[in-house]
Amino acid sequence: ATNRPDVLDPALLRPGRFDRQIVVPLPEFEERAAILRVHSRDKRMGPDVDLDTMAKGTPGMSGADLANLVNEAALFAVRRASAQIERIDFESARDRIMMGARRDSLILSAEEKRVTAYHEGGHAILATVLPHGDALHKVTILPRGMALGVTQTLPEERHSFSKDYILDRICMALGGRVAEELVFQQQTTGASNDLEVVTGLARRMVREWGMSDKVGPMAWHNQQNVFLGEDLMTGGREYSDDTARLMDEEINTILRQQETRAIELLSKHRIGLDLVAQALLEKETIDGDLVNALVQQGLDGSTQSPISVND
């Protein structure tokens, strides 16, 4: 079994050898629900656990991920000294898998917390108002994994991606950096992973998916040849210096356009951004419904947060 059939020696795949390929894709909704039922059948579930709902909230997870989800939920239940697995355990397990483990030992200064709140607030605002992106699920300023904060979306079941969807993903990913610049007039290293993601998406738009009018409907995959002599035979790349320069310009244009778009949207929703950041500083973790309510409140012109620390 391999997830890189492109690097196999073609001689292995000749008739009479490994000549039959069986593709095992990631499970769809009904398949995820069935997998969750299999792994939870020997565990005691609370009355508030709905495996179908959990299956809808785990797009992109493999069978192994789902098995791990159930096991992690069981561990959270044990830590709570509970005799059964409840919905909160599944939510905690999903957050751990998708957002990373909490780093309770990492203590942020008040200024770092404020910067992180606006950074994640920028992502959350754009995830809420952009028309073609994924739905916002949760945003937190609790350090998880290697990140100081995380904005989590729930992707829909998609088998292809439109240009509008990819542009919205780029714009949303730039929201954290743009929010920092709008509020603090400075840039931090917190956006390094965001920049890596958006650069990769823009590069693939231009080089692989034919989504640049200037470059046109052509594709050059950025894959290294793995067999002896092929790098020497192809000369390393299949396009001219002028084409390389044009692709670089188009990648930069896409990123600049989406950065400008993010600036315009966050400037329009500046009150909402302040409200979301305030809510994050008070509660540390908020869900997409609250962000949507705060965005609407900001558009209505109210600056008083409707929440309190005790909510």
DSSP per-residue letters across 112-164: HHHHHHHHHHHHHHHHHH-SSSPEEEEEE-S-BTTBS-EEEEE----SS--HH
Residue ranges of the alpha helices (H) in the chain? 29-40, 51-56, 63-79, 87-99, 110-129, 163-184, 192-207, 230-234, 241-268, 270-283, 288-300
Whether 88 has a pLDDT exceeding 80, the answer reads yes
Tokens at 157, concatenated: 């079941």
Give Cβ neighbours of residue 161 (< 8 Å, ≥ 6 apart).
Answer: none
Cβ distance 116 to 141 under 8 Å? yes
Whole-number pLDDT of residue 57: 84
Q: What is the spatial distance between Cα 89 and Cα 44, in angstroms, rounded to a whole number?
A: 12
120 given a catalytic annotation: yes
What's the CA angle centered on 68, arms 84 and 136, to 5 degrees? 90
Whole-number pLDDT of residue 53: 87
The letter for the amino acid at 18 is F
Question: What is the b/e burial string over 183-208, where b = at least 16 CB atoms within 10 angstroms of the residue's CB?
Answer: beeeebebbeebeeebbebbbbbbbe
Higher pLDDT, 16 or 179: 179
Q: What is the spatial distance between Cα 2 and Cα 112, in angstroms, rounded to a whole number?
A: 43
Residue of 120, 180, 250, 259 marked catalytic = 120
Higher pLDDT, 58 or 199: 199
The model's pLDDT over 124-170, given as tens digits with 9 standing for 90+, comes to 999 999 999 888 988 999 887 777 888 988 887 777 899 999 999 99
117 φ/ψ angles, rounded to the nearest 5 degrees: -60, -40
Tokens at 120, concatenated: 């994640």
What's the CA angle centered on 53, arms 50 and 54, to 5 degrees? 85
Q: Give the chain's domains with CATH numbers.
A: 5-99 (1.10.8.60), 110-300 (1.20.58.760)
What's the CA angle centered on 261, arms 260 and 265, to 5 degrees? 120
Q: What is the spatial distance between Cα 53 and Cα 50, in angstroms, rounded to a whole number?
A: 5
pTM confidence score: 0.80
